[in-house]
């Protein structure tokens, strides 16, 4: 009969955990969905595991075992655009990408600017393959005019507020949003693009936009938005999180603000860390259209520098599904956004770790402990007693991104056909295997 002292053991993996340490070989014992113990593989431990039923053991020899990854910037599209993504399919994509927790943005239809819609999302997410935390809207209908009932949103479980996709243009509204957020103990997440400066822009304003004859959104639109809200953050003492940083000057502004003790944090997306605007002219691939736009090589390098020196705290995908019908059009007519949950980890490994910018320890910290800290989320460590949200990574596995392999309902990735190194081997959510290669 199976030994039921444990439900599952992850054997012989190499642990990378910001809390526990790095590169240690360990066995993880799981019981009732929780991590019961993490131990060094002594002869006694190995013997104990040998006696277990094989179905209870995951052999992680040669693999990395890390806390379930956390993505604090995801669009799940439900309610409203279930043709592009549902909460269920988005969570399947998350699991396939090694993410056990995601934060969903409020730009759904209807918007997540009221308790009913928060509750709807929470209910739909209940039996899904990832934990879903809801980010409520700063302003009603994301219109930037009138604040949402922020206290109500927090009371029902919103972990932050954001008008993502839009920038609350009115500084008075943003000031009040920050003040309410502070009062309720949550951060404001900010999509930093001055709407006037960006009006009509479909790519970065640069040599490339001139060459291609496309209207550009200038980098200064992000710089101004970031500077204004850093000033308001300093003034109010609230917590501000800058989403998808994409320019050299925004990185510099955040670096300076942090040095001055302003309560600001920041994220970068894999696409801003890997791509440049030179890609667009090759095929006018509409999956390269995204807000903020992918920028110049110099901006990309500055975002990497910011990630490396800690100015940028975490990596978030900005997973933004759009249907094939919507993306199958001229570049300037396409909606902005690309999916990212299923390619983020491999892009980080291939373009940041293998190129020597980040160690595995740094990368995992920026995808687990740091995002957890920014939004005060549970998880992000393999500490004993915590839910067994665990990602096992085959770090040297080579693979090619294929559209038909995506779990996401949408396939709008510019990385289709790209060769990657590093793949998710298994993802566990509360001790349940929710994805296996
Ligand atoms: O490119 C983007 N797409 N940027 C955003 O901020 C919103 C997102 C979306 O919802 O499609
Ligand atoms: Zn955004």
Q: Which residue has the higher pLDDT, 21 or 223?
A: 223
Residue among 190, 246, 320, 341 to mutate when testing ligand 1 (max atoms within 8 A of CB): 320
Of all protein residues, the one whose alpha carbon is nearest to atom 4 of ligand 1 is 291
Nearest ligand to the C-alpha atom of residue 316: 2
- Those residues whose C-beta lies under 8 Å from the C-beta of residue 154, and which sit 6 or more positions away, are 136, 184, 185, 186
pLDDT in tens, 190-203: 999 999 999 999 99
> Which atom of ligand 1 approaches the CA of 335 most closely?
11
User: What is the mean pLDDT of the segment spanning 211-222?
Assistant: 98
pLDDT in tens, 63-115: 999 999 999 999 999 999 999 999 999 999 999 999 999 999 999 999 999 99
Backbone angles phi, psi at 55, to 5 degrees: -65, -15
DSSP letter assigned to residue 147 = B
Report the pLDDT value the prediction gives residue 1, as an integer from 0 to 100: 43
Report the pLDDT value the prediction gives residue 18, as an integer from 0 to 100: 83
Q: Which residues does the annotation mark as catalytic?
A: 318
Distance between Cα 320 and ligand 2 center (Å): 9
- pLDDT cut 70: percent of the chain above it: 99
Strand order of the β-sheet with 240-242 is 69-74, 99-104, 131-136, 160-162, 188-190, 240-242, 264-268, 314-315
Distance between Cα 338 and ligand 1 center (Å): 8
Alpha helix ranges (H) inside 237-365 = 248-259, 270-274, 280-283, 297-309, 324-327, 344-348, 360-365
pLDDT in tens, 145-187: 999 999 999 999 999 999 999 999 999 999 999 999 999 999 9
Mean pLDDT of the chain: 97
Q: What residues does 190 pair with on adjacent strands?
A: 242
> Which atom of ligand 1 approaches the CA of 244 most closely?
6
Of all protein residues, the one whose alpha carbon is nearest to atom 10 of ligand 1 is 320
Radius of gyration of the chain (CA): 21
Interatomic CA distance for residues 94 and 407, integer angstroms = 9
> Which atom of ligand 1 approaches the CA of 107 most closely?
10
Nearest ligand to the C-alpha atom of residue 107: 1
pLDDT in tens, 389-418: 999 999 999 999 999 999 999 999 999 999
Of all protein residues, the one whose alpha carbon is nearest to atom 5 of ligand 1 is 165
Of 22-31, 157-166, 373-382, the range with the lowest mean pLDDT is 22-31
Interatomic CA distance for residues 228 and 2, integer angstroms = 61
Distance between Cα 191 and ligand 1 center (Å): 9
Distance between Cα 290 and ligand 1 center (Å): 6
Residue 4 pLDDT grade (very low, low, confident, very high; cuts 50, 70, 90): confident
Interatomic CA distance for residues 33 and 418, integer angstroms = 36
The ranges assigned to domains in the chain are 8-65+386-436, 68-375
Of 5-9, 75-79, 293-297, the range with the lowest mean pLDDT is 5-9
Report the pLDDT value the prediction gives residue 23, as an integer from 0 to 100: 76
Please, are residues 166 and 111 in contact by the beta-carbon 8 Å criterion? no
Report the pLDDT value the prediction gives residue 3, as an integer from 0 to 100: 53
Distance between Cα 146 and ligand 2 center (Å): 20
Residue 17 pLDDT grade (very low, low, confident, very high; cuts 50, 70, 90): very high
Distance between Cα 162 and ligand 1 center (Å): 12
Whole-angstrom CA distances from 10 to 43, 99, 101, 430 are 16, 18, 20, 14
* CATH architecture, domain 8-65+386-436: Roll (2.30)
What number does CATH give the domain 68-375? 3.20.20.140
User: What is the mean pLDDT of the segment spanning 22-38?
Assistant: 92
Residue among 336, 340, 341 to mutate when testing ligand 1 (max atoms within 8 A of CB): 336
Residues having CB closer than 6 A to ligand 1 are 75, 107, 164-165, 191, 290-291, 320, 336-337
> Which atom of ligand 1 approaches the CA of 289 most closely?
1
Residue listed under structure tokens 């009115």:
170
> Which atom of ligand 1 approaches the CA of 321 most closely?
11
Residue among 164, 192, 327 to mutate when testing ligand 1 (max atoms within 8 A of CB): 164
Interatomic CA distance for residues 426 and 437, integer angstroms = 6
Interatomic CA distance for residues 246 and 241, integer angstroms = 14
Please, are residues 393 and 400 in contact by the beta-carbon 8 Å criterion? no
Please, are residues 140 and 113 in contact by the beta-carbon 8 Å criterion? yes
């Amino acid at each position: 009969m199976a030994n039921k002292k444990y439900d599952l053991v992850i054997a012989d993996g190499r642990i990378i955990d910001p809390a526990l340490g790095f590169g240690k070989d360990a066995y993880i014992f799981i019981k009732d969905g929780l991590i019961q113990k993490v131990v060094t593989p002594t002869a006694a431990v190995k013997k104990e595991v040998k006696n277990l039923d094989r179905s209870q053991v995951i052999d992680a020899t040669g693999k990395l075992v890390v806390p379930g990854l956390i993505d604090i910037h995801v669009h799940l599209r439900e309610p409203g655009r279930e043709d592009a993504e549902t909460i269920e399919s988005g969570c399947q994509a998350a699991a396939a990408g090694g993410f056990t927790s995601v934060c969903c943005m409020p730009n759904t239809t209807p918007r997540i600017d009221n308790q009913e819609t928060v509750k709807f999302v929470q209910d739909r997410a209940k039996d899904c393959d990832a934990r879903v935390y809801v980010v409520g809207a700063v302003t009603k209908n994301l219109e930037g005019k009138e604040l949402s009932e922020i206290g109500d949103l927090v009371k029902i479980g919103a972990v932050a507020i954001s008008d993502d996709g839009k920038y609350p243009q009115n500084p008075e509204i943003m000031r009040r949003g920050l003040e309410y957020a502070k009062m309720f103990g949550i951060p404001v997440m900010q999509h930093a693009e001055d709407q006037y400066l960006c009006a009509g822009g479909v790519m970065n304003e640069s040599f490339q936009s001139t060459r291609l004859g496309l209207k550009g959104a200038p980098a200064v639109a992000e710089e101004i938005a970031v500077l204004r809200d850093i000033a308001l953050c300093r003034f109010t003492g609230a917590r501000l999180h800058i989403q998808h940083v994409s320019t050299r000057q925004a990185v510099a502004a955040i670096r300076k603000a942090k040095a001055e003790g302003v309560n600001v944090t920041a994220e970068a997306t894999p696409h801003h860390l890997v791509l440049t605007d030179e890609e667009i002219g090759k095929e006018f691939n509409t999956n390269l259209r995204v807000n903020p736009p992918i920028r110049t090589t110099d901006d990309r390098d500055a975002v990497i520098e910011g990630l490396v020196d800690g100015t940028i705290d975490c990596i978030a995908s900005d997973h933004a599904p759009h249907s094939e019908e919507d993306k199958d059009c001229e570049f300037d007519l396409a909606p902005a956004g690309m999916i990212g949950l299923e390619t983020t980890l491999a892009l980080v490994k291939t373009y940041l770790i293998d190129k020597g910018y980040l160690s595995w320890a740094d990368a995992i910290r920026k995808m687990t402990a740091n995002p957890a800290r920014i939004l005060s989320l549970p998880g992000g460590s393999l500490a004993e007693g915590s839910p067994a949200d665990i990602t096992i990574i085959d770090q040297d596995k080579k693979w090619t991104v294929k559209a038909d392999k995506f779990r996401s309902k949408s396939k709008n990735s510019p990385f289709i056909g790209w060769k990657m190194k590093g793949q998710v081997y298994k993802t566990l959510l509360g001790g349940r295997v929710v994805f296996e290669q």
